[in-house]
Structure 1
C-alpha cells in the first residue's frame, strides 16, 4: 500500500527562547545515548534502529488542543518544515514521537507559564534551507502573501498534489533554494524511449553479483538501509546471502515511485533515497542508463546521485551514450546527473572504507566517481 505523507509547518522565530531551543536540539542533534534514561526499551530500540545510530534533531510542542491534534496525527515518514521570518529554514523527516514532560524539561526546561514542550518528535534527514515562502506558495496553491501560523498541518489534498506532481519535499526545496524552477512529473515522458534492446551479456554474471554485493556491503558500512530487487535477494557472494544484509520490504510513498524497486542497488535512510546504482555489464551499456532514465523521468526534481557502475574500459562508451539527445535533454539532463563509478573503485572503497557513524555522507563516493560535465 502506498503511504501518504503529511507535511507540518513549525514556527521557530518566537524570540530568544525559541532561537535557543532551535540551536540546542535541531542545529545540535542529540544522541540517543544522551537521553535514553527518559525512554523505555522499545523507544530506545526504535530510535537506534531507525537512524542506525545517528543523532536526531528534536523538537516539541506545549499542550494545547491544536498542538495535540497535530502531534497525534504525526507518523513516521511525515515531513516537517521549519519556518522563520518569511523563510523555510529547515525540512526533515519524522522518525518517531514520544510524550515525555521529563525529557522536555531536560532539553528545554519550562516556559513562563510552567509548561514544557512534552509532545516531542525526533527527526532525521534534516537539511537547512533559506527558501522564501513566496517561492513555495505557488506550488502549494497558496496566495503569494500566505504565511503559516504556529504548529500546523498543511491540508492533505495540497500535500498529495505537491508530492505527486513534483516529488520528494527535500529535493524540491533544494531546487528552490538554488534558484531553480520545479519540473512537473509528466508520466507520459516515461515513454520517450520506446526502442527494445536485445542485449548480449558480456560480463560474467558473477562479476555483476560481486559488484552488487560490494555496494550492499558499502551501504551497510555507511549505516544506510540497502534495497536490491526482490529477485536478487536470493543471490549470494563469497558465502554471504544478500537477503541477510538488505531490507526485505520497500515502503512505497506518494513521492517515491514504485519503479525504484527495479534499480540494482538503492541506499536509503528512513523514507528518503540517498543514492541509486545501476551495474552496467551489457555490450550496449544501455540497460542501466535506460533504467536510470525511467527513474529520472518519474523524479525530475530529485537531488540524490545516480551512478552507473561498470568496467573502467566502458567509461567512454557510457559517456557517449549519455550525450545522446534522448538522455541529455533539459528534462532528463542525465549527462549532468549520472556519475560513472568503475568496478575497481568500488572494490577499492569496499576494501579501504571504514564507516564513521558520527558524520556519514556519500561525499567519499562522489570523490571516486567521474562525471561527463
Structure 2
C-alpha cells in the first residue's frame, strides 16, 4: 500500500526529538547503491553482510555511518531490490567477493528488506514522478544520469517511498498486507529477544518466500501454563510475544475483515485472563484508524473497565510499524518491548466518565 509522504514526515518529525537511543530517527541517511545483476548475486552469495565500492568513491563512503541505510538498485534490470542497514563504519579490505572488481571500500550491512529475486524488484520507472532524485532534473527522459556516481545520498522522503514500494511488492494485496504485518511483528519480537507465536492457521503463509511458521524464535506450541479456555482463544490470535512463557503482548491484524472479529478474540482473552493485564494491539492500515476507534469504544466494551481499556488496548498503524522497524534496526538490542510498543502505537479508547 503506497504511503503518503507528507504523513510519513509528519509521523517521523516528533520521533526525531524523542528517540534518545538513536539520536533521532531523521539523523540517519539513505544511500543509493547501484549494482549489476552479477554483483548483486555475489553480494547475496557472500552472505549479504558486506557492501563494497570502488576507490574513487572514497569521499562518499567515508561519510557513511552506522545506522544509515543502503538502497540497492540493479542496473540493466532497472529495479530496486532491497534496503540494508549499515552496521559499522567504513573500512578497507582486499577480500575477493566480486569477480568484476575489488571494490575495497567496505561497510558491514544487515539486509532487512529484500525481494526474492532481482527480477521481482520494483521497476525504477514506476517511481520516476515520485522521487526527488529525478524531479530536480525536470526532464525524466534523462533519468538514468541521476543514478551515476553512487553511493549518493537520497532524501528521507525518497528513501521512505522506496521502502513503501518494496513492501508493496512483497505484499501486493490486502490479503498479503495482513501477512506482511504478521511478518513484521514476528521479526520485531524476535529482534527484541522474545519468543513469538503466529496463529495456528497462518503458519504456512508466505511473506516473500518465507513461511511465517519458520521465522526465528517462532514457538510451535503455546505454554502449558495457559488455562485451557485461554489457550483455545489464544491459538487463533494473529501474533503473540512471550517472555519466559508469559504473554508480553497480543496482536490482531485487521486489514479488510470486520474489526469486531479480532476485537472479539481480544475481549474473550481479557475475560479468560482478567488478572494478567496483557497489552493488546489492533494492527490495521492508517485508513482504518477511525473504524478501529469506533469499534473499540462500543458500549459492550465498557464492562471491561475504562482504565484497563486505555492501558491495555491500543492501535498500531501498519505503515508506522513498517517505517519504524527499519529505522530501529539493530538498536533494538538496547530497547524493551514496552518502549517499542508505546513508540509505534496510540491510544484509541475514550475514557468513560464515572468509571
TM superposition score category, shorter chain reference? 0.3 to 0.5
- Per the normalisation by structure 2, the TM-score is 0.45
Greater relative contact order structure (CA < 8 Å, 6+ sep): 1
